[in-house]
A and B are shown apart, each in its own frame.
Chain A
Amino acid sequence: MSEKLSLQDIILTLQHFWSKQGCMLMQAYDTEKGAGTMSPYTFLRAIGPEPWNAAYVEPSRRPADGRYGENPNRLYQHHQFQVIMKPSPANIQDLYLDSLRALGIDPSEHDIRFVEDNWENPSMGCAGVGWEVWLDGMEITQFTYFQQVGGLEVKPVASEVTYGLERLSSYIQDVNSVFDLEWAAGVKYGDIFGEPEYEHSKYSFEESNQDMLFKLFDTFETEAKKQIKNGLVHPAYDYVLKCSHTFNLLDARGAVSVTERAGYLARIRNMAKSIAKVFVAERKKLGFPLLKDEELRNKLLKEDK
């Protein structure tokens, strides 16, 4: 590489690469969430028999990881580049390595390893098997074959590739602090995100209104449950995401005791599980339209559950 890719170049390169592999380029989903997996483009679409290939950038908020913009690698909000392909292609590892080549990373000049890391998100009833990918000792990607989402078996299996954009970019641009990353020509990451990092950390750790957050959690939960009953999957799921983010804010504040914590996570999990079931039922009512294999489609539509 003669000229270093800016962070937005990196995003553009990945988008271009994965769109050529048949992925739809989605946009970031507009509700707060802790990880790209929680976007409905992954969480909901991973469930059920329909194929789904998508790629998108997802800003992910983790209030407890905020460091007032002072730690070079820890952030209240970071960016994930998320790729989901269902069913998992036989050459998914090769595709991934080609995406690194597209970014100017020649694997034979580095040390790339697939190190076992099985992924779990108990609060969403999710579990998968896979690796973290190490580039010269640095974890740059989480690579997962989903086995379970929302408590349901994932069938066919979806493969998820999640790049940590800040980490990957720090490596490519060779900077020690994410705030020194070049987002676009002449504009640094810190110029854009330094102030929000400080403010969100200050808010999450010191200023948030706990009473309001506790009330909001209950309110969002009530609404989510009601809309699950109405079969309105997407509005219901938005409220589950809000519950999850509200819980994360309370957790960052240390407002949730260890005992209560398990209880809140179980409440979120139960909603996520109900939504997963309703989603499949609703897609079935629509006739699994994304399923192009007519024979399989008719067979599944006739099945009784």
Chain B
Amino acid sequence: MSRPQATARPQNYARLVWLRFARSRLGLAGLGCLVLLLIIVLFGRFLAPHDPDTRFAPFQPPSHWTSAGFVNPIDSGKVDPVTLQPILTTAGAQPVRLGLFVRGHLVAPRDPDGELHLLGTDRFGRDIFSRGLVAARISLGLATIVVTLTTTTGLLLGAIAGYRGGAIDRWLSRLIDFVLAFPQLPLYLALGALIPITLGSGMFLILLIGIMAMLGWAGLAREIRGKTMVLARMDYVRAAIALGATDWRVVYRHIAPNLVSHVLVSFTLTLPAIVLLESFLGFLGLAVKPPLISWGLMLQDAGSFAAIGSYPWILSPVGFVFITVFAFNAVGDALRDAIDPY
């Protein structure tokens, strides 16, 4: 026992975490999805086959994949006897000729009048797939900003409450209770209604972010407070104080690094929750305003039962939300297992 592992090379922390993370297949799949999402956020307009605001015929069904390529169904001239909707067919329709790097898009119909609607079109005839790709930037950007705000606030207030204790802790804890006790959904709707309708879309977005951040930090703050209290009583903190370390040094050198793992996991698990919240508030009518596009806004159209019944593809933005939530949850879970390799 005189020199265990004397020859082994010291392993740094990030490497250990990565080795353990790589053991989770679901986590790797989630990481793959995250990379895909990042690419979509950065290059959404380029990847989309159409401009998100170009109008085609409304409520077109998705293009079909046949042996000849993508085909847009055409009106067969007949009418469904029950719903009185025109019956569409692919028979006789011309396949869409696709080309690479056409008019600033990666893949698009070569013909300037050609149409490719992988997920159909919405009520204004806009291509849902293209809009979904472009909306990723707003939806994920909004979620990232909100989570960054809530995480910073939660970490700061939680750490202060946990480390200082006493009266500060009592007051901050009551504030946390107060925020957690709000009935959140009615509050969101009420605050949404308070925002003047004439407000520009950018200002509206900022207010929406503000509301979400204000209501979202308390849970993390409470967790951080508890963890800080535990860490502040560790022997190594006592040893640091005995060495003469200041409060500030104790916090950033001894407490914060041991909170990082928790915060990182909380970040990855809260982000999909905000994406979900945004889409679901959109469904209820509290979404970003056009001309901005978000998944929540796209789902606003799916609010009517009749529309979903006739044109089920307008629900497809849910798919984007689903991929996001899966990716972040998978990564967050794997990260949580990997983060404490000691």
B is a partner of A: no
Report A's interface with B, CB cutoff 8 A: none
Report B's interface with A, CB cutoff 8 A: none
